[in-house]
Each structure stands twice: as structure tokens, then as C-alpha cells.
């Protein structure tokens, strides 16, 4: 339902197109890939500067903010799917947090976007702490009575807290909130992608499991190992190495591949 904003009418696109040109947004059919490594890195730096510029723009009317959020989301999809820049030039996913800072700042009620943020910022960029910051900002504007699917945002946050940060207390609180909001969603009568009753039950089970003193080390090692598998740039590998070091693990090269082993 929320993806209606991605099918904005042609008139609105034309108006917004003129605005974005003045702000030097990249075209939708452009990728961040140059002919050389330096050209590609420059394109990424330029895109980073544009994203920071947009973030500094003063807030506008609600409709205008939605347009900025939707356009930024489309840009993110283009950026995230740029396999050429990523595989050939090892650009990584470091801009993902900036994209979603703009998206959520402008339209925190864009609940469908949070699942993309959870995977791209935490799993691919390797910065779950930034994802948590963005969740916290967005959740202030969400209301289970107005956005029945908003309980999913609490679940995404809980997952990041549990798997990446090892924050059992924070994850438990988030799961309980997810259950509370899912209960309200089940009473709304609206059709949702997933069953809110089942989600409420699973969230409560997760919260109950976390009541006991749990050692989350193995779960964290597994999560950071997945980040390592998706890492295409040195910066992300360094982040993973630092996090694994805290968990008593290290990265080694075996058979030409990076693997996680105990120190």
C-alpha cells in the first residue's frame, strides 16, 4: 500500500525533476561506475556530498518531504544494485546509512523501507549502530493505530540489537513493543503481508527467551560472519575484524577465501 508513493503521477515527477536538477541529484539511469577505479571512487564521493546536502536542507511541507524520501529510495535501489561498481571497483555499501537517514528523516512513516535499511545498513554496510539510530528516529513518528504494519520496525530493530550488538535487554524491550503493536495490528482488520497474530506470538517468545541470561556470542559471530561474506571493500572488512576481535575471533585467508576462526 505504501509503495503507492513510488508510482507518483507524471505531473509531480516533472515538478520534482526540475527541483532535483537544481540540487544536482544524479539521474535515475546513472550508476556510480566510471571507467577507472579513481573515476568510480570520485562518483561515490560526489554522491556522498549530494546526500549530505539533501540532509541539510530545511524541512518542507509533508508532500514535498514524501517526494524527497521516495526519490532517495529509488536512488538507493539503484546504488544498492550497482554490482559493477561494487564487484569491479570494490566500492562497498558505505552510503546506505546516508540514503536511509534522508529517507527516514523525510518520511519516517514509510514503513516498507525499513526492511531494506535493516539489511543494507547492518548486513552489507556493517554499521548496525547507525541502523539503530535511524530506527529510533523513525519510531518516534510511528503509531500502530495509524500504521498497522509498524510493528515490523520494532522486530527489525530487535534483530539488529540481538545479532549484531549482543544487546539482550534492548532486544527484549523491542520484541515486547513489537508484540504490543502487532496485537493492535491484528485488531485493525487490515490485510498485511505477514500475520500480526503470529508475529506477536513469536515476538513474545523471543522476549521470554531473552529473560534468562543468554550468551549471545555465537549469534553475534554468525551475524558478523555473514557481513564478511557480503563485504566487497576493505573498510567493511576492517569493521568486521574489529567486531570479531571483541568476540575472541579473527579473520584468516584459507583456500583463497576469508574465514572466521578462533584466536
pLDDT of amino acid 24? 37
pLDDT at 2 over 50: no
Looking at residues 67-83, what average pLDDT do you find?
87
Q: Which of 36, 87, 90, 37 is nearest to 237 (CA)?
A: 90
Q: What is the Cα–Cα distance from 147 to 162, expressed in whole angstroms?
A: 25
Q: Residue 61: pLDDT band by 50, 70, 90 thresholds?
A: low
Tell me the pLDDT tens digit for each residue of 80-120. 888 777 766 677 899 999 999 999 999 999 999 999 998 89
Burial status of residue 132 (CB atoms within 10 A of its CB: 0-12, 13-18, 19 or more): buried
Mean pLDDT of 203-208: 95
Quick check: 18 pLDDT over 90? no
Amino acid at each position: 500500500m505504501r509503495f503507492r508513493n513510488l508510482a507518483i503521477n507524471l505531473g509531480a515527477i516533472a515538478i520534482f525533476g526540475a527541483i532535483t536538477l537544481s540540487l544536482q541529484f544524479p539521474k535515475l539511469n546513472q550508476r556510480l561506475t566510471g571507467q577507472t577505479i579513481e573515476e568510480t571512487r570520485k562518483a561515490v564521493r560526489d554522491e556522498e556530498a549530494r546526500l549530505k546536502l539533501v540532509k541539510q536542507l530545511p524541512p518542507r511541507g509533508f508532500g514535498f518531504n514524501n517526494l524527497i524520501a521516495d526519490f532517495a529510495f529509488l536512488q538507493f535501489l539503484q546504488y544498492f544494485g550497482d554490482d559493477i561498481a561494487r564487484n569491479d571497483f570494490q566500492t562497498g555499501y558505505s552510503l546506505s546509512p546516508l540514503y536511509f537517514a534522508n529517507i527516514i528523516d523525510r518520511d519516517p512513516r514509510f514503513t516498507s523501507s525499513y526492511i531494506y535499511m535493516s539489511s543494507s545498513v547492518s548486513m552489507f554496510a556493517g554499521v548496525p549502530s547507525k541502523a539503530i539510530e535511524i530506527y529510533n528516529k523513525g519510531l518516534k513518528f510511528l503509531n500502530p493505530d495509524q500504521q498497522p504494519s509498524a510493528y515490523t520496525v520494532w522486530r527489525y530493530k530487535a534483530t539488529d540489537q540481538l545479532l549484531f550488538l549482543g544487546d539482550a535487554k534492548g532486544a527484549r524491550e523491542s520484541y515486547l513493543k513489537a508484540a504490543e503493536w502487532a496485537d493492535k495490528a491484528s485488531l485493525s482488520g487490515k490485510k498485511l503481508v505477514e500475520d500480526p497474530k503470529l508475529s506477536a506470538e513469536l515476538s513474545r517468545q523471543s522476549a521470554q527467551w531473552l529473560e534468562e541470561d543468554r550468551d549471545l556470542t555465537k549469534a553475534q559471530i554468525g551475524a558478523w560472519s555473514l557481513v564478511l561474506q557480503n563485504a566487497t571493500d576493505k573498510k567493511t572488512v576492517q569493521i568486521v575484524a574489529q567486531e570479531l576481535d571483541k568476540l575472541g575471533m579473527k579473520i584468516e585467508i584459507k583456500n583463497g577465501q576469508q574465514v572466521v576462526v578462533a584466536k
